Structure 1
Protein backbone atom coordinates (compact mmCIF):
# COMPACT_ATOMS: atom_id res chain seq x y z
CA UNK A 1 0.00 0.00 0.00
CA UNK A 2 1.43 3.36 -1.01
CA UNK A 3 1.47 6.35 1.28
CA UNK A 4 -1.20 8.02 -0.87
CA UNK A 5 -3.49 5.00 -0.49
CA UNK A 6 -2.92 4.99 3.29
CA UNK A 7 -3.73 8.71 3.45
CA UNK A 8 -6.94 8.25 1.43
CA UNK A 9 -7.94 5.22 3.51
CA UNK A 10 -7.28 7.17 6.72
CA UNK A 11 -9.30 10.11 5.43
CA UNK A 12 -12.22 7.81 4.60
CA UNK A 13 -12.06 6.22 8.04
CA UNK A 14 -11.83 9.62 9.72
CA UNK A 15 -14.78 11.02 7.75
CA UNK A 16 -16.89 8.00 8.64
CA UNK A 17 -16.43 8.68 12.35
CA UNK A 18 -16.44 12.47 12.18
CA UNK A 19 -18.82 14.36 14.42
CA UNK A 20 -21.61 16.05 12.50
CA UNK A 21 -21.69 19.77 13.26
CA UNK A 22 -24.83 21.34 14.71
CA UNK A 23 -27.30 22.37 12.04
CA UNK A 24 -25.94 19.97 9.42
CA UNK A 25 -28.30 17.34 8.05
CA UNK A 26 -27.42 13.99 9.59
CA UNK A 27 -29.50 11.63 7.47
CA UNK A 28 -27.96 9.90 4.50
CA UNK A 29 -29.69 10.06 1.14
CA UNK A 30 -31.31 6.65 1.64
CA UNK A 31 -32.44 7.45 5.18
CA UNK A 32 -33.80 10.84 4.15
CA UNK A 33 -35.72 9.26 1.28
CA UNK A 34 -37.12 6.50 3.49
CA UNK A 35 -38.09 9.03 6.18
CA UNK A 36 -40.22 11.08 3.77
CA UNK A 37 -42.89 8.39 3.49
CA UNK A 38 -43.58 7.81 7.21
CA UNK A 39 -43.66 11.61 7.68
CA UNK A 40 -46.18 11.92 4.87
CA UNK A 41 -48.26 9.16 6.44
CA UNK A 42 -48.19 10.90 9.83
CA UNK A 43 -49.16 14.18 8.15
CA UNK A 44 -52.12 12.54 6.42
CA UNK A 45 -53.20 10.79 9.64
CA UNK A 46 -53.14 14.02 11.64
CA UNK A 47 -54.91 15.83 8.81
CA UNK A 48 -57.66 13.22 8.93
CA UNK A 49 -57.97 13.60 12.73
CA UNK A 50 -58.63 17.34 12.35
CA UNK A 51 -60.85 16.96 9.27
CA UNK A 52 -62.87 14.14 10.87
CA UNK A 53 -63.44 16.24 14.00
CA UNK A 54 -64.78 19.01 11.75
CA UNK A 55 -67.06 16.66 9.78
CA UNK A 56 -68.36 14.89 12.88
CA UNK A 57 -69.22 18.18 14.59
CA UNK A 58 -70.68 19.69 11.41
CA UNK A 59 -72.99 16.78 10.53
CA UNK A 60 -73.33 15.01 13.91
CA UNK A 61 -72.05 11.72 12.55
CA UNK A 62 -72.49 10.01 15.88
CA UNK A 63 -68.87 9.39 16.86
CA UNK A 64 -68.23 12.15 19.37
CA UNK A 65 -71.15 14.32 18.24
CA UNK A 66 -74.70 12.92 18.26
CA UNK A 67 -76.84 13.80 15.24
CA UNK A 68 -79.04 16.01 17.44
CA UNK A 69 -76.02 18.20 18.27
CA UNK A 70 -74.80 18.73 14.70
CA UNK A 71 -73.61 22.26 14.01
CA UNK A 72 -75.80 22.35 10.89
CA UNK A 73 -78.81 21.61 13.08
CA UNK A 74 -78.06 24.42 15.53
CA UNK A 75 -75.80 22.51 17.93
CA UNK A 76 -72.64 24.01 19.33
CA UNK A 77 -69.31 22.26 18.59
CA UNK A 78 -67.76 23.77 21.72
CA UNK A 79 -70.61 23.46 24.23
CA UNK A 80 -69.92 19.88 25.24
CA UNK A 81 -66.16 19.94 25.66
CA UNK A 82 -65.72 23.48 26.94
CA UNK A 83 -68.98 23.52 28.88
CA UNK A 84 -68.75 20.13 30.57
CA UNK A 85 -65.31 18.55 30.21
CA UNK A 86 -63.10 21.57 30.97
CA UNK A 87 -61.43 21.23 34.35
CA UNK A 88 -58.55 22.74 36.25
CA UNK A 89 -57.28 26.28 36.62
CA UNK A 90 -58.76 27.56 33.33
CA UNK A 91 -62.17 25.86 33.63
CA UNK A 92 -63.98 29.15 34.31
CA UNK A 93 -62.53 30.76 31.17
CA UNK A 94 -63.48 27.79 29.02
CA UNK A 95 -66.96 27.44 30.54
CA UNK A 96 -67.63 31.09 29.71
CA UNK A 97 -66.59 30.53 26.07
CA UNK A 98 -68.67 27.37 25.59
CA UNK A 99 -71.44 27.70 23.03
CA UNK A 100 -70.42 31.20 21.90
CA UNK A 101 -71.14 31.51 18.17
CA UNK A 102 -67.85 33.30 17.45
CA UNK A 103 -65.87 30.66 19.33
CA UNK A 104 -67.78 27.89 17.52
CA UNK A 105 -67.00 29.46 14.15
CA UNK A 106 -63.34 30.01 14.97
CA UNK A 107 -62.98 26.45 16.27
CA UNK A 108 -64.65 24.88 13.24
CA UNK A 109 -62.67 27.05 10.83
CA UNK A 110 -59.46 25.97 12.55
CA UNK A 111 -60.37 22.27 12.38
CA UNK A 112 -61.25 22.52 8.69
CA UNK A 113 -58.25 24.66 7.72
CA UNK A 114 -55.72 22.57 9.61
CA UNK A 115 -57.19 19.30 8.33
CA UNK A 116 -57.30 20.37 4.68
CA UNK A 117 -53.83 21.95 4.80
CA UNK A 118 -52.29 18.82 6.31
CA UNK A 119 -54.01 16.46 3.89
CA UNK A 120 -53.01 18.56 0.88
CA UNK A 121 -49.52 19.27 2.25
CA UNK A 122 -49.86 23.02 1.74
CA UNK A 123 -49.47 25.87 4.18
CA UNK A 124 -47.64 23.55 6.56
CA UNK A 125 -46.18 26.36 8.66
CA UNK A 126 -49.57 27.95 9.28
CA UNK A 127 -51.25 24.57 9.79
CA UNK A 128 -48.55 23.49 12.25
CA UNK A 129 -48.68 26.74 14.20
CA UNK A 130 -52.49 26.80 14.30
CA UNK A 131 -52.73 23.09 15.09
CA UNK A 132 -50.11 23.34 17.84
CA UNK A 133 -51.91 26.34 19.35
CA UNK A 134 -55.30 24.60 19.18
CA UNK A 135 -54.02 21.37 20.74
CA UNK A 136 -52.14 23.21 23.50
CA UNK A 137 -55.30 25.18 24.28
CA UNK A 138 -57.26 21.92 24.42
CA UNK A 139 -54.59 20.56 26.78
CA UNK A 140 -55.04 23.57 29.08
CA UNK A 141 -58.78 22.88 29.18
CA UNK A 142 -58.24 19.56 30.97
CA UNK A 143 -55.41 20.31 33.37
CA UNK A 144 -54.13 18.24 34.95
CA UNK A 145 -54.53 15.39 32.45
CA UNK A 146 -56.42 12.40 33.79
CA UNK A 147 -53.71 9.74 33.33
CA UNK A 148 -50.44 11.67 33.64
CA UNK A 149 -49.18 14.57 35.77
CA UNK A 150 -48.72 16.86 32.74
CA UNK A 151 -48.28 14.98 29.43
CA UNK A 152 -51.09 13.90 27.12
CA UNK A 153 -51.77 13.38 23.45
CA UNK A 154 -52.49 17.09 22.83
CA UNK A 155 -48.87 18.03 23.59
CA UNK A 156 -47.59 15.17 21.46
CA UNK A 157 -49.78 16.33 18.55
CA UNK A 158 -48.43 19.87 18.92
CA UNK A 159 -44.82 18.65 18.81
CA UNK A 160 -45.45 16.37 15.84
CA UNK A 161 -47.19 19.15 13.90
CA UNK A 162 -44.22 21.45 14.37
CA UNK A 163 -41.82 18.68 13.38
CA UNK A 164 -43.81 17.95 10.21
CA UNK A 165 -43.61 21.60 9.15
CA UNK A 166 -39.89 21.84 9.92
CA UNK A 167 -39.13 18.70 7.91
CA UNK A 168 -41.19 19.73 4.89
CA UNK A 169 -43.58 16.78 5.15
CA UNK A 170 -45.99 18.37 2.66
CA UNK A 171 -43.79 17.57 -0.34
CA UNK A 172 -44.30 13.78 -0.29
CA UNK A 173 -47.81 12.58 -1.16
CA UNK A 174 -48.86 16.23 -1.05
CA UNK A 175 -48.91 19.44 -3.03
CA UNK A 176 -46.17 21.14 -1.00
CA UNK A 177 -43.72 21.58 -3.91
CA UNK A 178 -46.38 22.99 -6.24
CA UNK A 179 -47.70 25.23 -3.46
CA UNK A 180 -44.18 26.57 -2.75
CA UNK A 181 -43.67 27.32 -6.45
CA UNK A 182 -46.70 29.62 -6.69
CA UNK A 183 -46.06 33.34 -6.98
CA UNK A 184 -48.07 34.01 -3.82
CA UNK A 185 -45.93 31.71 -1.69
CA UNK A 186 -42.65 32.85 -3.27
CA UNK A 187 -43.58 36.42 -2.27
CA UNK A 188 -44.78 35.31 1.19
CA UNK A 189 -42.54 32.45 2.31
CA UNK A 190 -44.38 32.22 5.64
CA UNK A 191 -47.19 30.54 3.68
CA UNK A 192 -45.08 27.42 2.95
Structure 2
Protein backbone atom coordinates (compact mmCIF):
# COMPACT_ATOMS: atom_id res chain seq x y z
CA UNK A 1 0.00 0.00 0.00
CA UNK A 2 2.75 2.44 0.93
CA UNK A 3 4.53 1.68 -2.33
CA UNK A 4 1.46 2.54 -4.39
CA UNK A 5 0.94 5.80 -2.47
CA UNK A 6 4.53 6.78 -3.12
CA UNK A 7 4.09 5.97 -6.78
CA UNK A 8 1.02 8.22 -7.04
CA UNK A 9 2.78 11.01 -5.13
CA UNK A 10 5.80 10.89 -7.42
CA UNK A 11 3.53 10.94 -10.48
CA UNK A 12 1.69 13.99 -9.13
CA UNK A 13 4.95 15.83 -8.54
CA UNK A 14 6.15 14.88 -12.01
CA UNK A 15 2.89 16.10 -13.54
CA UNK A 16 3.02 19.39 -11.64
CA UNK A 17 6.60 20.07 -12.69
CA UNK A 18 6.10 19.02 -16.30
CA UNK A 19 2.72 20.21 -17.47
CA UNK A 20 1.53 19.16 -20.88
CA UNK A 21 2.47 22.57 -22.29
CA UNK A 22 5.88 22.49 -20.56
CA UNK A 23 5.50 25.97 -19.05
CA UNK A 24 6.69 25.17 -15.52
CA UNK A 25 9.79 23.37 -16.69
CA UNK A 26 10.51 25.98 -19.37
CA UNK A 27 10.27 28.91 -16.94
CA UNK A 28 12.72 27.23 -14.56
CA UNK A 29 15.11 26.49 -17.41
CA UNK A 30 15.15 30.18 -18.33
CA UNK A 31 15.75 31.29 -14.77
CA UNK A 32 18.75 28.96 -14.45
CA UNK A 33 20.03 30.04 -17.85
CA UNK A 34 19.92 33.66 -16.67
CA UNK A 35 21.74 32.70 -13.47
CA UNK A 36 24.40 30.95 -15.59
CA UNK A 37 24.83 33.94 -17.89
CA UNK A 38 24.91 36.36 -14.94
CA UNK A 39 27.65 34.49 -13.10
CA UNK A 40 29.51 34.16 -16.40
CA UNK A 41 29.33 37.93 -16.80
CA UNK A 42 30.76 38.40 -13.29
CA UNK A 43 33.81 36.35 -14.29
CA UNK A 44 34.15 37.88 -17.74
CA UNK A 45 33.82 41.41 -16.36
CA UNK A 46 36.51 40.71 -13.73
CA UNK A 47 38.80 39.58 -16.56
CA UNK A 48 38.06 42.61 -18.74
CA UNK A 49 38.41 45.15 -15.94
CA UNK A 50 41.69 43.66 -14.73
CA UNK A 51 43.05 43.26 -18.25
CA UNK A 52 42.18 46.75 -19.51
CA UNK A 53 41.79 48.80 -16.33
CA UNK A 54 38.35 50.15 -17.11
CA UNK A 55 38.20 51.78 -13.70
CA UNK A 56 35.51 49.81 -11.91
CA UNK A 57 37.80 47.93 -9.56
CA UNK A 58 41.03 48.28 -11.54
CA UNK A 59 42.40 51.75 -12.33
CA UNK A 60 43.79 52.23 -15.85
CA UNK A 61 47.38 52.43 -14.58
CA UNK A 62 46.94 49.01 -12.89
CA UNK A 63 45.74 47.22 -16.03
CA UNK A 64 47.34 43.92 -16.95
CA UNK A 65 48.04 45.20 -20.47
CA UNK A 66 50.08 48.01 -18.88
CA UNK A 67 52.30 45.52 -17.06
CA UNK A 68 50.54 45.47 -13.71
CA UNK A 69 49.93 42.17 -11.95
CA UNK A 70 46.27 41.22 -11.52
CA UNK A 71 47.10 39.00 -8.55
CA UNK A 72 49.33 41.32 -6.53
CA UNK A 73 46.71 43.45 -4.79
CA UNK A 74 44.49 40.53 -3.86
CA UNK A 75 47.21 38.14 -2.76
CA UNK A 76 49.27 40.73 -0.89
CA UNK A 77 46.09 41.60 0.98
CA UNK A 78 45.93 38.05 2.34
CA UNK A 79 49.28 38.31 4.15
CA UNK A 80 47.64 38.70 7.59
CA UNK A 81 45.09 35.95 7.02
CA UNK A 82 45.65 32.46 8.50
CA UNK A 83 46.73 31.03 5.11
CA UNK A 84 48.52 34.20 4.05
CA UNK A 85 51.90 32.49 4.22
CA UNK A 86 50.70 30.16 1.46
CA UNK A 87 49.00 32.69 -0.83
CA UNK A 88 50.76 36.02 -0.33
CA UNK A 89 54.15 34.86 -1.72
CA UNK A 90 52.43 33.94 -5.04
CA UNK A 91 51.56 37.58 -5.73
CA UNK A 92 53.03 39.02 -8.90
CA UNK A 93 54.41 35.85 -10.45
CA UNK A 94 53.67 35.79 -14.18
CA UNK A 95 52.46 32.17 -14.07
CA UNK A 96 49.99 33.03 -11.27
CA UNK A 97 48.76 36.07 -13.21
CA UNK A 98 48.28 34.04 -16.39
CA UNK A 99 46.49 31.17 -14.62
CA UNK A 100 44.21 33.59 -12.80
CA UNK A 101 43.34 35.61 -15.91
CA UNK A 102 42.86 32.52 -18.10
CA UNK A 103 40.63 31.12 -15.36
CA UNK A 104 38.48 34.25 -15.22
CA UNK A 105 38.17 34.41 -19.00
CA UNK A 106 37.55 30.69 -19.47
CA UNK A 107 34.93 30.40 -16.74
CA UNK A 108 33.19 33.56 -17.93
CA UNK A 109 33.03 32.57 -21.59
CA UNK A 110 32.03 28.96 -20.84
CA UNK A 111 29.19 30.04 -18.57
CA UNK A 112 27.90 32.70 -20.94
CA UNK A 113 27.96 30.32 -23.91
CA UNK A 114 26.75 27.34 -21.87
CA UNK A 115 29.60 25.06 -22.96
CA UNK A 116 31.99 22.88 -21.02
CA UNK A 117 29.98 23.26 -17.83
CA UNK A 118 31.37 20.07 -16.26
CA UNK A 119 34.94 21.23 -16.72
CA UNK A 120 33.93 24.77 -15.74
CA UNK A 121 32.37 23.47 -12.52
CA UNK A 122 35.64 21.75 -11.60
CA UNK A 123 38.09 24.48 -12.66
CA UNK A 124 35.88 27.44 -11.77
CA UNK A 125 35.08 25.80 -8.46
CA UNK A 126 38.78 25.29 -7.79
CA UNK A 127 39.53 28.94 -8.60
CA UNK A 128 36.75 30.09 -6.28
CA UNK A 129 37.77 27.70 -3.49
CA UNK A 130 41.37 28.92 -3.65
CA UNK A 131 40.18 32.54 -3.49
CA UNK A 132 37.94 31.62 -0.55
CA UNK A 133 40.82 29.87 1.26
CA UNK A 134 43.10 32.88 0.74
CA UNK A 135 40.49 35.10 2.45
CA UNK A 136 39.74 32.84 5.42
CA UNK A 137 37.94 33.79 7.53
CA UNK A 138 35.57 35.77 5.32
CA UNK A 139 34.81 39.30 6.45
CA UNK A 140 31.14 38.84 7.39
CA UNK A 141 30.77 35.17 8.33
CA UNK A 142 32.92 32.49 10.01
CA UNK A 143 33.19 30.44 6.79
CA UNK A 144 30.43 31.13 4.23
CA UNK A 145 30.77 33.72 1.50
CA UNK A 146 29.78 34.31 -2.11
CA UNK A 147 32.69 32.25 -3.46
CA UNK A 148 31.28 29.08 -1.88
CA UNK A 149 27.79 29.96 -3.10
CA UNK A 150 29.04 30.56 -6.66
CA UNK A 151 30.87 27.22 -6.52
CA UNK A 152 27.70 25.38 -5.51
CA UNK A 153 25.63 27.16 -8.14
CA UNK A 154 28.14 26.44 -10.93
CA UNK A 155 28.22 22.77 -9.96
CA UNK A 156 24.42 22.71 -9.94
CA UNK A 157 24.28 24.40 -13.35
CA UNK A 158 26.53 21.69 -14.76
CA UNK A 159 24.39 18.95 -13.23
CA UNK A 160 21.16 20.25 -14.80
CA UNK A 161 22.70 20.98 -18.22
CA UNK A 162 21.86 24.66 -17.89
CA UNK A 163 23.84 25.43 -21.04
CA UNK A 164 21.09 23.95 -23.22
CA UNK A 165 18.76 26.93 -22.62
CA UNK A 166 19.88 30.31 -23.97
CA UNK A 167 23.23 28.73 -24.75
CA UNK A 168 24.93 26.42 -27.18
CA UNK A 169 25.38 23.57 -24.70
CA UNK A 170 23.25 21.08 -26.62
CA UNK A 171 25.16 21.76 -29.87
CA UNK A 172 28.48 21.65 -27.99
CA UNK A 173 27.58 18.31 -26.40
CA UNK A 174 26.93 16.79 -29.85
CA UNK A 175 30.28 17.80 -31.37
CA UNK A 176 32.74 15.04 -32.19
CA UNK A 177 35.25 16.51 -29.73
CA UNK A 178 32.85 16.30 -26.78
CA UNK A 179 31.52 12.89 -27.80
CA UNK A 180 35.11 11.69 -27.77
CA UNK A 181 36.01 13.53 -24.52
CA UNK A 182 32.78 13.72 -22.47
CA UNK A 183 34.45 15.63 -19.62
CA UNK A 184 34.34 18.65 -21.96
CA UNK A 185 30.53 18.70 -21.86
Shared fold per TM-score greater than 0.5:
yes
Cα distance, 1:188 vs structure 2: 1.0
How many residue pairs align between the two structures?
177
Compared CA separation, residues 101 and 146, structure 1 to 2 (3 A):
same
Cα distance, 1:83 vs structure 2: 1.0
Compared CA separation, residues 91 and 17, structure 1 to 2 (3 A):
same
- Tell me, in whole angstroms, the C-alpha distance in 2 between the residues paired with 1:127 and 1:18: 32
Unaligned stretches of 5+ in structure 2? none
- Work out which of the residue numbers 123, 129, 140 in structure 1 matches 2:122: 129
Cα distance, 1:93 vs structure 2: 1.4
Question: Is 2:81–2:136's contact at 8 Å kept on the other side of the alignment?
Answer: yes
Compared CA separation, residues 178 and 74, structure 1 to 2 (3 A):
same
Unaligned stretches of 5+ in structure 1? 1-10
1:17 matched to which residue of 2? 9
The answer to whether residue 155 in structure 2 is matched with residue 162 in structure 1 is yes
1:107 matched to which residue of 2? 100
* 2:115 alignment partner, SS class: coil
The answer to whether residue 134 in structure 2 is matched with residue 145 in structure 1 is no
Question: Is 2:69–2:92's contact at 8 Å kept on the other side of the alignment?
Answer: yes
Q: Which runs of 4+ in 1 moved over 6 A?
A: none
User: Max radius of gyration: which structure?
Assistant: 1
Compared CA separation, residues 158 and 18, structure 1 to 2 (3 A):
closer
